[in-house]
Every structure is written in C-alpha cells, then in structure tokens.
C-alpha cells in the first residue's frame, strides 16, 4: 500500500471550495425550481382539468421512471442541438436538476393535497372563497406543511445528485475532485476527502431539516 | 358593498324566502338517487329542522342549498330570484346569493394552519375585500358575544370539539349570512360538549336568524324548530310544526322513525 499523504489537499483547497460553491449553487436553485415546479405540477394533477392533468402526469412519470444520469446526458447533448440554445453549463444543470426534482416534489405535494379533508374544501366554498383563494389560502399552506418531510428528503437527495452533472462538464465538487485526483495522482486521498466533504454538508442540512419538520408538525396537530 | 353592511333581501316575498322545486340529485351516474324531486318552501321567519333516516337525503339537501353539489334537475330560488338551477346537466349557481348563506358541518372544518382570529378573518379579508382591522374588530366582537374571546390566538388543535364548532359558527357569522345551515353540527361531539353548541344556535335563533338544521337530537329539534320536515327516500314525507309532528305524525315512516328514536333515547343501549 502506498503512503497516504493528505497534505496536498491544502494546495487543492481553493479548487475544492470553488467546486463546493457550484454544488451548493446548483442545489439551491434546483430546489427553488423544484419546489415551484412541483407545486404547479401537483396542482395540475389534482385539479379538475384533464388538459392540464394528463400532460403533468406524463411529465412526472417520465422523470420518475428514467435514470437521472440519462436525463442529464440527454439534456446536455440534445437540447442545445434540438432547440438551438446555448446556456452556461451551470444554468443547464440547474434546469435539468430542477426539472427532475419537480417530478418527485410533485408527488410529495399531490400526496399532501390528498390528505387534506374534503370537508375543508366544502367549508372554503361555503365561505365564498374562489377556487384560486381556496388553493392559495387553504389547500397549499396545509399541503406544504404535510409535504415538508418528503420535500426535505428530496432536496438532500438532489444535493447528492448534483455530482452527476460532473459528467457533462459542470465544474462542481465532484468534477473538481476528479481534476485534483488526476493531476496529483492521489485518488485515494482526494476521493476520501470528497466523501467527507459531501457528508460535512449533508449532515447539518439533515439536522436542520429535522428541526424544521418537528416545528411544522407541532403547527399542524389537528 | 362590504359584507359588514346588512344585505337587503327583496322587499316582500317573505313566504318565498327559500323555494325548492323538484330537486333531484344522484350519485354514481344516476344509479343512486338521493333526492327525488324534492319540494320545499321556507319563510324568513322559519327555523326548519330536517330529520329522517340516514341516507334519506337530509345532508345532501343542505349541501345542495349551499351550492356544494351538482344537481340533476330542479331549481332553488331565494327571495324570488333564481339561485340554483339545473341546465342540461350543468348546475348554475348565483355566487352572489350563495355568499349570503352560511354553513357549519358535522366534521371540524377550522383550518388547522390558521389561528382562530385568522380563521375568522380569512374570507372577509381575502375574498370580500374587508380591511383587516375592520374584520378583526368584528371577529373580536362576535367572539366576545359568544364568550370565546379568550381563544382568539389559539390554534384549532388547542380547542375542544365544542369550541371548534362554536368558532366554526362564528366564522360563518363573520360574513353576515341571511340563512344558516347546520349539518349535524353536534354529532361528532362528546355528549358533555353538545349543550354549549346548541346554546349558541338557540341564541342565534332568538336573534331572528333563519336557519335549516339537520339533527338527530330530538330535544334540540323540538326546542328550536318552527317547523319539522321529515326527509326520507329523497323527498319531504312530512312537514308540520314540532308539537304536531312529534305528537301525531301522519305518515307511517315518520311514526316508525320517531318511535325508534324516542325508544333509543329512553333506553340507551
């Protein structure tokens, strides 16, 4: 076994940090997109309009039933050619990761919307709320609280999935890690450090999530 | 016009306050008929108690009046104005009239993510354009009147069942309804909590609020009703003042029903 040397990491530190920054950037914006997209998709699937619900269901099935890596590769290679658009790799990453997360979050929202008692909707109608007002003030605020545990799980999952876009040249944490490992010939140290890096971010986010979850649980005890 | 100003119903027509003609409602593509050409009129002085066997269409009747159900045929007029009508399979509802009707349900329907004050002010502020401060003042006034002002900042989960139903009634009153519908509002309550809810409804009745009540509580029915209607098989099988109804029901079905209910009340299992 070769001698392990972790000191070179100090030199590679800026590159790691740059990668981490991109990873967090991707995670944040893809989650923003995924929350909005997921909520809209869930409203389409649970709503009364077939013209909206059928394509939304198809979208969700498509993204849930194909590997994320395949989606990413397809998106990066085919979309620029098919639609003649050239976006920065990071923006492309945000879009495709956000599209993927939207499908999973849509299912979380749909399940949450369906746990809201039918009687609440009746009461909202009896109070004269319009369909939009019912959705905005009665259904979605409750659904969001019910969905929080799954949304957070999905969000943390996405943080890990951002590593997939390294394959198509987005210089996030994984990509930079590979760069470091090949340029220093120190794969064991680099990848070990990489795993620790992901852990060091995931665990605090998970803890924070559990805390938020506990708080929203208290607010919804009916 | 804000909801806080009294809405003026048509001038005369007191005897046709509510008029239901040939109301039909079915589920499962017409296989199960719940309302079967139901006719009913109500004056603005009436407090109508609807009783009858389960599955007889009582709750469905109230839900139709509230505009929560699509109807297969028939029409509902309020003060001589068409309110709900069936139109080639579609249900037309005049939303302006619908807003003058309040309803309280059997299950608790306070929105759990909002505290009591927000539950009360949601519809006035968000839907009717009442300024928040005006709506909150009115909420405080209503809650004080019914002895609930300690609970303004409580969440529904912190209330007893009886308090939840009283707040639900208060929430409906925020919109200044001209007709209140109560659908078995005490059925889900523990027995010792029933009386506080009934007391609140009686207080409303004494204030002159027209109401239609579905209940299984015969004492309550007798106490509050100006008229009792017996709803079975999707039609009104009997319609009489309470004294008469309970003493001398004319139809056999009503007689059987009353015997069963009174018997059950006298000798609890």
B112, B185, B212: which to substitute to probe chain A, counting the most A Cβ within 10 Å? Answer: B112
Cβ neighbours of B157 in A, within 8 Å:
220-222
Instruction: Return the pLDDT at A205.
Output: 84
Instruction: Return the pLDDT at B88.
Output: 78
Q: Is residue A151 part of a domain?
A: yes
CB distance B105–A122 less than 8 Å? Answer: yes
Residue of B nearest to A221 (CA): B157
In tens digits, chain B (269 residues) has pLDDT values of: 344 444 444 444 456 789 999 999 988 777 788 898 899 999 888 899 999 888 888 999 999 999 999 898 999 999 888 999 988 778 899 999 999 999 999 998 999 999 999 999 999 999 998 999 999 999 999 999 988 888 899 999 999 999 999 999 999 999 999 999 999 998 888 888 898 999 999 999 988 899 999 998 888 998 899 999 999 888 898 898 888 888 888 888 888 888 887 766 555 44
Instruction: Return the pLDDT at B2.
Output: 42
Cβ neighbours of A221 in B, within 8 Å:
112, 157
How many other β-carbons are positioned within 10 Å of the β-carbon of residue B43? 15
Instruction: Return the pLDDT at A47.
Output: 87
**Token digits of residue B114:** 């909002």
Please give, rounded to a whole number of angstroms, the shortest distance from the CA of A139 to a CA of chain B.
9
Please give, rounded to a whole number of angstroms, the shortest distance from the CA of A136 to a CA of chain B.
10
Q: Is residue A3 part of a domain?
A: no
A140 pLDDT higher than 50? yes
In 3-state terms, what secondary structure has residue A49?
coil
Instruction: Return the pLDDT at B191.
Output: 86
Q: Is residue A2 part of a domain?
A: no
In 3-state terms, what secondary structure has residue A65?
coil
Residue of A nearest to B65 (CA): A126
DSSP states of chain B: --TTSPP---SS-GGGSEEEEEEEEEETTTTEEEEEEEEEEE-TT-EEEEE--TTSSHHHHHHHHHT-S--SEEEEEETTEEEEEEETTEEEE-HHHHTTEEEE-SS--S-TTS-HHHHHHHIIIIIH---HHHHHHHHHHHHHHTT-GGGTT--GGGS-HHHHHHHHHHHHHTT--SEEEEESTTTTS-HHHHHHHHHHHHHHHHTT--EEEE-S-HHHHHHH-SEEEEEETTEEEEEE-HHHHHH---SHHHHHHHHHHHHHHHS--
**Token digits of residue B98:** 């619908």
Phi-psi region of B78 (alpha: psi -120 to 50; beta: other; left: phi over 0): beta
CB distance A142–B156 less than 8 Å? Answer: no
Q: How far apart are CA A120 and CA B182, in angstroms?
A: 16
> pLDDT tens across A166-185, in order?
888 788 888 888 888 888 88
Q: Is A44 exposed, middle or buried (0-12, 13-18, 19+ CB in 10 A)?
A: buried
Does the beta carbon of B231 lie under 8 angstroms from any beta carbon of chain A? no
CATH number for A163: 1.10.3720.10
Chain A from 72 to 101: CB within 8 A of any B CB:
none
Cβ neighbours of B102 in A, within 8 Å:
126
Q: How far apart are CA A130 and CA A192, in angstroms?
A: 56
Residue in the structure block whose two tokens are 């523990």: B190
CB distance A219–B113 less than 8 Å? Answer: yes
Q: Is residue A1 part of a domain?
A: no
Residue length, chain A? 222
A48, A121, A123, A130: which to substitute to probe chain B, counting the most B Cβ within 10 Å? Answer: A123
Does the beta carbon of A207 lie under 8 angstroms from any beta carbon of chain B? no
- For chains A and B, what is the number of CB pairs under 8 angstroms? 69
Please give, rounded to a whole number of angstroms, the shortest distance from the CA of B199 to a CA of chain A.
22
Our count of domains for chain A comes to: 1
Q: How far apart are CA B73 and CA A183, in angstroms?
A: 79
Instruction: Return the pLDDT at B10.
Output: 46
Q: Is residue A84 part of a domain?
A: yes
Instruction: Return the pLDDT at B9.
Output: 47
> pLDDT tens across A68-94, in order?
999 999 999 998 888 888 888 889 999
Does the beta carbon of A190 lie under 8 angstroms from any beta carbon of chain B? no
Domain span at residue A125?
8-221
How many other β-carbons are positioned within 10 Å of the β-carbon of residue A111? 15
Of A83, A78, A33, A40, the residue nearest A60 (C-alpha): A40
Crossing angle of helices B161-173 and B191-206, rounded to 10°? 20
B3, B64, B103, B111: which to substitute to probe chain A, counting the most A Cβ within 10 Å? Answer: B111
Please give, rounded to a whole number of angstroms, the shortest distance from the CA of B99 to a CA of chain A.
6
Sort strands B211-214 and B179-183 into parallel, antiparallel or unpaired: parallel
> pLDDT tens across A44-59, in order?
999 888 999 999 999 9
Cβ neighbours of A137 in B, within 8 Å:
122, 126
Residues 6+ apart with CB under 8 A from A123: B103, B105, B109, B111, B168
Q: Is residue A40 part of a domain?
A: yes
Q: Strand order of the sheet with strand B32-42?
A: B32-42, B18-27, B73-78, B81-87, B90-93
Residues 6+ apart with CB under 8 A from B54: none
Q: To the nearest 10°, the Cα dihedral for B188, B192, B193, B194?
A: 70
Instruction: Return the pLDDT at A218.
Output: 61
Does the beta carbon of A126 lie under 8 angstroms from any beta carbon of chain B? yes
Q: Is residue A141 part of a domain?
A: yes
Instruction: Return the pLDDT at B269.
Output: 43
Cβ neighbours of A125 in B, within 8 Å:
66-68
Mean of the per-residue pLDDT values of chain A: 88
Q: Is residue A208 part of a domain?
A: yes
Instruction: Return the pLDDT at A221.
Output: 54
How many other β-carbons are positioned within 10 Å of the β-carbon of residue A198? 18
Of B216, B182, B215, B235, the residue nearest B33 (C-alpha): B235
């Amino acid at each position: 076994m070769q001698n392990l040397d972790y000191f070179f990491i100090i030199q590679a530190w800026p590159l790691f940090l740059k990668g981490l920054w991109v990873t967090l950037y991707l995670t944040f914006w893809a989650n923003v997109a995924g929350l909005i997209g997921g909520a809209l998709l869930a409203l389409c699937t649970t709503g009364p309009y077939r013209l909206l619900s059928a394509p939304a269901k198809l979208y969700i099935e498509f993204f849930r039933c194909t590997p994320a890596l395949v989606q990413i590769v397809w998106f990066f290679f085919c979309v620029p050619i098919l639609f003649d658009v050239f976006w920065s790799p990071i923006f492309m990453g945000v879009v495709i990761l956000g599209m993927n997360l939207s499908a999973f979050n849509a299912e979380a929202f749909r399940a949450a919307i369906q746990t809201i008692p039918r009687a609440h909707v009746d009461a909202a109608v009896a109070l004269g709320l319009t369909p939009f007002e019912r959705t905005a003030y009665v259904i979605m605020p409750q659904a969001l609280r019910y969905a929080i545990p799954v949304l957070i799980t999905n969000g943390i999952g996405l943080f890990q999935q951002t590593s997939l876009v390294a394959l198509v040249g987005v210089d996030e944490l994984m990509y930079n890690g590979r760069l470091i490992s090949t340029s220093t010939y120190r794969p064991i140290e680099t990848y070990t450090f990489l795993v620790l890096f992901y852990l060091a971010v995931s665990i605090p986010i998970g803890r924070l999530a559990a805390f938020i979850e506990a708080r929203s649980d208290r607010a919804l005890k009916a | 016009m804000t909801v806080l100003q009294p809405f003026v119903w048509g001038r005369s027509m007191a005897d046709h306050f509510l008029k239901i003609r040939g109301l039909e409602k079915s589920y499962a593509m017409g296989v199960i008929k719940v309302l079967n050409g139901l006719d009913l009129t109500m004056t603005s002085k009436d407090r109508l108690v609807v009783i009858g066997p389960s599955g007889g269409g009582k709750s469905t009747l109230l839900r139709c009046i509230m505009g929560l159900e699509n109807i297969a045929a028939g029409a509902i007029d309020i003060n001589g104005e068409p309110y709900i009508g069936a139109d080639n399979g579609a249900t037309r509802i005049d939303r302006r009239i619908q807003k003058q009707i309040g309803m309280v349900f059997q299950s608790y329907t306070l929105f759990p993510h909002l505290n009591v004050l927000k539950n009360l002010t949601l519809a006035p502020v968000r839907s009717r354009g009442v300024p928040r401060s005006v709506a909150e003042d009115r909420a405080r006034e209503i809650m004080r009147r019914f002895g609930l002002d300690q609970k303004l900042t409580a969440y529904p989960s912190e209330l007893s069942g009886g308090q939840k139903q009283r707040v639900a009634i208060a929430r409906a009153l925020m919109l200044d309804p001209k007709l209140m519908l109560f659908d078995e509002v005490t059925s889900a309550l523990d027995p010792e909590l029933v009386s506080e809810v009934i007391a609140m409804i009686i207080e409303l009745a004494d204030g002159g609020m027209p109401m239609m009540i579905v209940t299984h509580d015969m004492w309550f029915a007798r106490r509050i009703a100006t008229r009792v209607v017996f709803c079975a098989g999707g039609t009104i099988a009997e319609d009489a003042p309470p004294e008469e109804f309970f003493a001398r029901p004319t139809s056999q079905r009503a007689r059987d029903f009353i015997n069963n209910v009174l018997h059950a009340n006298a000798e609890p299992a």
